[in-house]
Amino acid sequence: MSRVGVIGGGAWGTALACLARRAGSEVMLWAREPEVVASINTVHVNEVFLPGIALDSRIRATADMAEALEVDMVLLVCPAQAQRAVATAMAPHLPADTPVAICAKGLERGTNKLMSEVLAEVLPQAEPMVLSGPSFAADVARGLPTAVTLAARNREHALDVAAGLAGPTFRPYAGDDLIGAQIGGAVKNVLAIACGIVDGRGLGDSARASLTTRAFAELVRFGRAFGARTETLTGLSGLGDLILTCSSLQSRNMSLGFALGQGRTMDEILGERRSVSEGVYTAAVVTELARDRGIEMPIAEAVHQIVDGHSSIDTVIEALLNRPLKAEHL
């Protein structure tokens, strides 16, 4: 894959542009913000979303979608709730069978669809893939060791694309479970908000470890109900991503939960951020789908109640702790 298009100029898109360039590809990054395009092209830093990290001068940025898609493969890195609109803008310019790796982690609010389902509707000529796993933008941009999952409909095709992204410090493992790779990343964002609330409230490491473990049980229940494979959910794009996101305030979702736990309001937190915390929007979708299918998701339900303003943190914590006793494994 000698030419890679990165669609999305946020921190993660910029980090993946660094990754692709490090692997030897020509990289064109599309961003909707003129100031991001100018910053990358003139001073070789994304001063808006990833300040302080120097970029290879051969990474080019553009606001022209047609120019950005004169490539061999695409990393689609826009926020989940914007994917439909961005993919629609891509449609007139994307050649048939171009690999498009979905890099956002979420479910579409309003339709309750996976990102691959959205892509199939508006960009049917694309060869869908999913890149997901425990990875912070700053770590990847700096070249720190990272391993992720790259899933495609055909595992051999995933291996071919993975070879074009791999490097000494970046190891993509190939898979063919598109559903599992997406569900792990989407659901863990919701659950990470809960872990952040625990830390923000000062409830202790024991509480966070217990919550993370029970959160993983919810993730597995949810994933298996939608056809995800257990080995995917226990792998990098499921358990691995959950561990990372629930253990560091580098996570936008955990840091949002932390701020909520300290008593700040959603309006205050979101008002000072330019980056997106996907779990805020995915919580309602996960909860609705779980209710419809009879999947027990008390932690995800609690997060939904808090972020949508239906209940207070103290009320939710009390309700979780007073649920009826049950066997750990059913």
Would you please indicate which residues are annotated as catalytic (active-site) residues? Answer: 188
Under 8 Å CB-to-CB from 330, ≥6 apart: which residues? none
Query: Are the beta carbons of 90 and 8 closer than 8 angstroms?
Result: no
Yes or no: say if 5 and 71 are a contact pair by the CB < 8 Å rule: yes
Q: b/e string for 303-326 if b means 16 or more Cβ within 10 A?
A: bbbbbeeeeebeebbeeeeeeeee
What is the rounded CA–CA span in Å between residue 300 and residue 303? 5
Query: Could you give the CA distance from residue 272 to residue 288 in angstroms, rounded to a whole number?
Result: 28
Alpha-carbon distance values, 322 to 165, 221, 294, 318 (Å): 48, 21, 21, 6
Tell me which DSSP letter residue 76 carries: E
Q: Is 311 helix (H, G, I), strand (E, B) or coil?
A: coil
Question: Which pairing describes strands 99-102 and 59-62: parallel, antiparallel, or unpaired?
Answer: unpaired
**Are the C-beta atoms of residues 293 and 307 closer than 8 Å to each other?**
no
171: three-class secondary structure by DSSP: strand
Which residues have CB under 8 Å from 127's CB, separation 6+? 97, 98, 99, 100, 152, 153, 157
For CA atoms 114, 178, 13, 85, give the dihedral sign.
Answer: negative
Structure tokens at 229: 């494979």
